[in-house]
Structure 1
Amino acid sequence: MFGGLVRFLGTGISTDPADRFPLVMFGQTLAAIAQPLVIFTPAKMAALWFPDNQRATANTIASMANPLGMLLASILSPWMTQTSRDIPDLLLAYAVPACIICFLATVGLRSSSPPTPPSASAESSGSEPFVQGIKLLLMNRAYLVLMVCFGSGIAAFTCFSTLLEQILCVQGYSNVSAMHHGGLMGVSYTN
């Protein structure tokens, strides 16, 4: 939510792109830092809130939110931004749902686990405090190798999907055609 708000607010501070770019990138960095913390919550939520026979379904449904969001962004973004003047509206469209969901989660959630555990494994489920868990991960060689490999793969995927429109323009597509086709190709590349 904060990353989305900072990106949106960064577009309105000045007319000079050199002034806006650092703030927009700071907002993007906040969102990128939050991604690993958010993307693995479906498994924890399913383990704590659902009985054993419903965990796979709950985890699947909750885990599909991220690719679905990427799918919608890839489809809608090209149609929402016909010129560079439309980018603030696009960033606002990204920030509003995040703000609404964050508000609802803050107001609506009263506990991190249900009053009665749905299963024996949920009752005995425990984890280290956040900072201690991060320290344990940073000392685990296998995790660090996995982090570098997976992070590099995600970086390559993101770079390719970000540059897809420019790649299409070099191949002879017009800017408008590349924008629309790039969004649809990004959808197929995402899924």
Structure 2
Amino acid sequence: NISISFFSDWLSMVYMLAYIPLIVPANLLLDRKGLHVMGMIGTILNALGAFVKCFAISPERFPVIMLGQSVSAVAQVFILGLPARVAAVWFGSNEVSTATAIGVFGNQIGCALGFFIPPIIILLYTGASISCFLFILVAICKSCFFSCFFFLFFVEKPDIPPSIAQMVVHSLDLDRSSSQVTNYFLSLKRLLKNVPFCVLLVTYGINTGSYYAIGTLLNPIVLNYFPSEQLNAGRIGLTLVMAGVLGSLVCGLWLDRTKWYK
């Protein structure tokens, strides 16, 4: 059924839809409030989204699962910017690319498990198995939130800046006022006028867009030619993501050693 497939695809596309309008204010909030606050917001929204989806086991409750998925989509906006910020603040210039790759590693492993585990659950196709899977997901998300919330000794940045760039940032000692908002948008404006950055933006967008498009439509594409191969469709997605994880780690190490960013 085309309509069912279309609405099911929106369970994935809502992540991209939420990202477009929210990424700029989320990055601004990251600049003003720091890593700890962003981590708490992201983890609590993730836990809330997972909890809402526990009430959507029946097919007629699709709006409920869409609501939970939308909350989780908003949560990922607050999470995806953290690896690069942690790498920039805590690691030296020869370690930033590797640290970023390792930080993104967790997100990619989650995507890989998302391709691999749900098809197995669907093949079992019992309300109890799906319900159990969703409650396990809630428990994992809640443990992440409580770990972030009760981590009282969370340190935003090291006492000694790890790089020249961070030393400059420390020396500026910007206050948490409207001037910081102005500086953020001025930086954004300068980036959009930078031709190499715009080229990188377009090429990365094409690459990421292709990945998400294939990830969203992989199941119907495979099943169109190979019916009843739901499990192998998930394995194809797992292979796709794990190849990217390996490439990310190798390229991160290579960039830190060679500085061949072009």
Per the normalisation by structure 1, the TM-score is 0.72
Instruction: Say which of 139, 142, 148 aligns to 1:96.
Output: 139
Distance 1:96 1:131 in 2: 40
1:51 positional shift: 2.7
Q: Which residue of structure 2 lines up, in the alignment, with residue 71 of structure 1? A: 112
Q: Which residue of structure 2 lines up, in the alignment, with residue 83 of structure 1? A: 125
- 2:83–2:104: 8 Å Cα contact kept in structure 1? yes
Alignment map for 1:23-62 (pairs within 5 Å): 23-62=64-103
Deviations 1:10-60 (A, max 9, x none): 3326x7543x32232122112222323322221211111123333232222
Structure 2 counterpart SS, 1:53: coil
Distance 1:96 1:154 in 2: 30
Q: Which residue of structure 2 lines up, in the alignment, with residue 11 of structure 1? A: 54
Distance 1:53 1:80 in 2: 43
Q: Which residue of structure 2 lines up, in the alignment, with residue 161 of structure 1? A: 215
Q: Which moved more, 1:121-130 or 1:111-120?
A: 121-130
- 1:3–1:26: 8 Å Cα contact kept in structure 2? no
- 1:6–1:23: 8 Å Cα contact kept in structure 2? no
Q: Residue 109 of structure 2 aligns to which amino acid in structure 1?
A: L
**Percent of aligned positions with the same letter in both sequences?**
23
Q: Residue 64 of structure 1 aligns to which amino acid in structure 2?
A: F
Distance 1:27 1:165 in 2: 22
The reply on whether 1:187 has 2:229 as its aligned counterpart is no
Q: Which residue of structure 1 lines up, in the alignment, with residue 62 of structure 2? A: 21
Distance 1:30-1:129 versus aligned 2 partners, 3 A rule: farther
- 2:47–2:141: 8 Å Cα contact kept in structure 1? yes
Q: Which residue of structure 1 lines up, in the alignment, with residue 25 of structure 2? A: none
- 2:54–2:135: 8 Å Cα contact kept in structure 1? no
Q: Which runs of 5+ in 1 are unaligned?
A: none
Alignment map for 1:124-163 (pairs within 5 Å): 124-125=168-169, 133=184, 146=201, 150=205, 154=208, 157-163=211-217
Q: Which runs of 5+ in 2 are unaligned?
A: 1-42, 245-262
Distance 1:90 1:38 in 2: 23
- 1:5–1:27: 8 Å Cα contact kept in structure 2? yes
1:159 positional shift: 4.8
Distance 1:44-1:160 versus aligned 2 partners, 3 A rule: same
Q: Residue 103 of structure 2 aligns to which amino acid in structure 1?
A: A
**Corresponding residue pairs, total:** 184
Distance 1:130 1:68 in 2: 34
- 1:4–1:91: 8 Å Cα contact kept in structure 2? no
Distance 1:124-1:103 versus aligned 2 partners, 3 A rule: farther
1:66 positional shift: 1.5
Q: CA RMSD in A?
A: 3.6
Per the normalisation by structure 2, the TM-score is 0.55
The reply on whether 1:107 has 2:157 as its aligned counterpart is no
